[in-house]
Structure formats: structure tokens, C-alpha cells
């Protein structure tokens, strides 16, 4: 199962972990660390040429305010500036498979 979501507060990620455990499935958290400036440029670019549903400024602000970094949760960490690199994708797949 793959959940594509911000998972901003830890309690949300804890619920995903519990669901995976109840199903007997492994759990891997992928944390895409992105600089606020890069995130803003991507949001604005998406508004010009939509590739996905828009995220409003209010929603972005709410997520930023409630974000609890998963530093102690053994995440697979991805550099937000390299999400389209084939080597980054391969490294994420390898990290998930090893869990």
C-alpha cells in the first residue's frame, strides 16, 4: 500500500504504521525534504500548467505550521531538488525493499 500525503503531524504517520502492522505489511516512510522556496516555485508552476490538483496557500501554511519532522522515525530521506533523478528513485526503491 502506498499513501501519498503530507503526513504532517506524527499521529497521522502513527496511524499508517498501525494499519500496516495490523495487515502484517512492512512500513516505510519516505520523507521528501524540500526547501520552502523550491516548494513555492513548484506550486506556482503547477498553477500555470496544472499537472495535479492545486494546493492552496492556506493549505500549505497549515501543513507547514503543523509539520512534525519524522527525524526519529527512520525515514527514507529524499532531497526535494532531486525527486526526478533516476538514481534518487532507484535509491528509494532499494531502501524500501530492504525494510
pLDDT in tens, 21-52: 999 999 999 999 999 999 999 999 999 999 99
Interior angle at CA 51, CA 50 and CA 55, nearest 5: 70
Query: How confident is the model at residue 48, as a pLDDT?
Result: 97
Q: Could you tell me the three cell numbers for 64? A: 507547514
Average pLDDT of the chain to the nearest whole number: 95
Q: How far apart are CA 94 and CA 80, in angstroms?
A: 18
Q: What count of other Cβ atoms lies within 10 Å of the Cβ of residue 95?
A: 15
pLDDT band at residue 1 using 50, 70 and 90 as cut-offs? confident
In this prediction the pTM is 0.85
Amino acid at each position: 500500500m502506498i499513501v501519498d500525503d503530507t503526513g504532517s503531524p506524527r499521529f497521522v504517520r502513527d496511524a499508517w504504521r498501525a494499519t500496516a502492522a495490523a495487515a502484517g505489511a512492512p512500513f516505510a516512510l519516505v520523507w521528501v525534504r524540500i526547501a520552502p522556496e523550491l516548494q513555492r516555485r513548484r506550486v506556482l508552476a503547477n498553477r500555470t500548467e496544472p499537472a495535479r490538483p492545486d494546493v492552496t496557500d492556506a493549505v500549505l501554511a497549515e501543513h507547514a505550521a503543523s509539520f512534525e519532522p519524522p527525524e526519529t522515525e527512520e525515514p527514507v530521506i529524499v532531497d526535494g531538488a532531486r525527486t526526478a533523478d533516476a538514481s534518487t528513485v532507484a535509491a528509494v526503491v532499494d531502501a524500501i525493499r530492504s525494510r
